[in-house]
Amino acid sequence: MKSNTAVKTSSEVVEDNQTAKTIEKPWKAYFELAKSGIVISNLLTAFAGFYLAAIYTAGYDLGANVHILLLTMLGSALVIAGGCTINNYIDRDIDPLMDSKSERPTVKGTIEPRKVLYAGLIESAVGVAVLLMIQPMAAIIATIGLFLYVVVYTMWLKRTHSLNTVVGSFAGAVPPLIGWAAVDPGLHMYAWLLFAVMFIWQPPHFLALAMMRVEEYRKARVPMLPVIAGFNMTKRQILVYIAALIPISLLLYPFGVIYTVVAAVLGFGWLALGVIGLRSQDEQKWARHMFLYSLNYLTIIFVLMVVVHL
C-alpha cells in the first residue's frame, strides 16, 4: 500500500522551516532588524544627556517630568531602531557576503524586503513625531542623525570611501544631544562635549571591529580603512583618536574629582593598550581586546556621568 505523503526536497524543508519560524516569532525578527544592542547602548547616552540637562537647567523638575523622559527615550529608541532597520534593507546585497551578518532576517529571507523598509520608515517617522511633540529641536537633531546614517553613511560613503567611519560617527553621536535638547533646546556646552566624546570614541571602536572582520569587508568590497590601508595605518589612526579623546573627556572636569580621575585612568589605559598593539604579533587578538575595552569605556564613563550627579 502506497503512502499519500509526498517526499519534500531539501529546499522545500528549509523554506518550510523558515516560514514556521517567521509565523512563530515574527516580532523576534523585527527586533533583530532594529539591532536592539545598538539601541540600548545609544539610549544610555541619550538618558545621560537628558539627566544632565535636567541637573544643569535652572528650575527643571525631573520628578515632575518623568513622562517627558519616557517619551524622549521612546522617540529616540524608535528613530535609532528605524535607522538600523533601513540599514538592513539597504545592505541586503552585501550582508550575505559577511559571515558575521549571516543571521540577519534580510539574509535568511524570513521577512520580505519591502516589509523591512516599511518597518524602518514607520519606526523612524513615529520616533520623530514623538520627539516633535516634546521639543522640536530634539526632533530636528534626530532627523539630521537619521539622514546622516541612512543616506550619507549607509547609501553612499560605506560603499565608496574609508571616511565612512568618521561620517558615521556624526550620526552615532547625536543621542546625547537629543536627550539634552528635550530639556534644554539651547544646548549647553556640556551637551556638545557629550557629543564630542561620543564622536571621537566611535572611530577607534569601529576600526578595531573592522580589523576583526577585515576579510569579510574585503569580500563584500566595503572600503574600510584596514582593507584599503592595512593594519599598521589603522592602528596609528586608532591611537590618534584615543589621544584626542582623553583631553576632550577631561574638559568635563566640573563633574567632579571622581569623574575626572576615572576618565583619565580609562583614557590612558586605552591609549596604553593601543601603543602595545603597535608591536603586537597577534593583531586579531589585539583588535578584539581594543573593541571590548571601547565598549567598557563608553558604558563606564556615561554611567559615571549620571552617578556623580545623584
pLDDT of amino acid 13: 40
CB 131 within 8 A of CB 178: yes
180 shares a domain with 204: no
Average pLDDT over residues 63-89: 95
Residue 193 and residue 107 share a domain: no
Given this model, what pLDDT does residue 290 score?
96
- The answer on 236 and 93 residing in a single domain is no
Question: What is residue 10's predicted lDDT score, i.e. its pLDDT?
Answer: 43
Please indicate, yes or no, whether residues 243 and 103 belong to a single structural domain of this protein. no
- The answer to whether the CB of 149 falls within 8 A of the CB of 88 is no
What pLDDT, on a 0 to 100 scale, did the predictor assign at position 70?
Answer: 97
Domains in the chain, number: 2
**Do 53 and 173 belong to one domain?**
yes
- Considering 151, 166, 187, which residue would you say is the last residue of a domain? 187
pLDDT of 142 higher than 90 = yes
DSSP string, the chain: ----PPPPPHHHHHHHHHHHHHHH-HHHHHHHHHTHHHHHHHHHHHHHHHHHHHHHSTT--TGGGHHHHHHHHHHHHHHHHHHHHHHHHHGGGTGGG-GGGTTSHHHHTSS-HHHHHHHHHHHHHHHHHHHHHH-HHHHHHHHHHHHIIIIIIIIIGGGT-TTHHHHHHHHHT-HHHHHHHTT-TT--HHHHHHHHHHHHHHHHHHHHHHHHTHHHHHHHT---HHHHHHHHHHHHHHHHHHHHHHHHHHTTGGG-HHHHHHHHHHHHHHHHHHHHHTT-S-HHHHHHHHHHHHHHHHHHHHHHHHHTT-
| Domain containing residue 37 | 25-187
Which CATH number is 66's domain given? 1.10.357.140
**Same domain, yes or no, for 76 and 164?**
yes
User: Out of 20-29, 35-44, 165-174, 175-184, which region has the weakest mean confidence (pLDDT)?
Assistant: 20-29
Whether 167 and 266 map to the same domain: the answer is no
* CA distance to 21, 180, 216, per residue, from 289 (Å): 35, 32, 19
**Regarding predicted confidence, which is higher, 159 or 16?**
159
Do both 39 and 147 map to the same domain?
yes
Both 31 and 170 in one domain: the answer is yes
pLDDT over 90 percentage in the chain: 78
**Residue 97 in this model has a pLDDT that exceeds 80:** yes
* Average confidence (pLDDT) over 191-218: 96
Average pLDDT over residues 211-219: 94
Q: Which of 132, 156, 187 is the last residue of a domain?
A: 187
The per-residue pLDDT for range 10-64, each reduced to its tens digit, is: 444 444 444 444 444 677 888 888 888 899 999 999 999 999 999 999 889 988 9
Residues 127 and 228 in one domain: no
Look at residue 179 and tell me whether its pLDDT is greater than 80: yes
Evaluate whether residue 35 is within a structural domain. yes
What is the predicted pLDDT for the residue at 250? Answer: 97
What is the pLDDT of the chain when averaged over all its residues?
Answer: 90
Tell me the C-alpha distance between 117 and 82, whole Å. Answer: 9
The pLDDT tens digits of the residues spanning 223-261 come to 999 999 999 999 999 999 999 999 999 999 999 999 999
Could you give the C-alpha distances from 96 to 69, 112, 249, in angstroms and in order?
39, 15, 38
Residue 11 is assigned to a structural domain of this protein: no
- The whole-number pLDDT of residue 25 equals 66
Together in a domain, 34 and 174: yes
The answer on 172 and 57 residing in a single domain is yes
2 domain-assigned: no
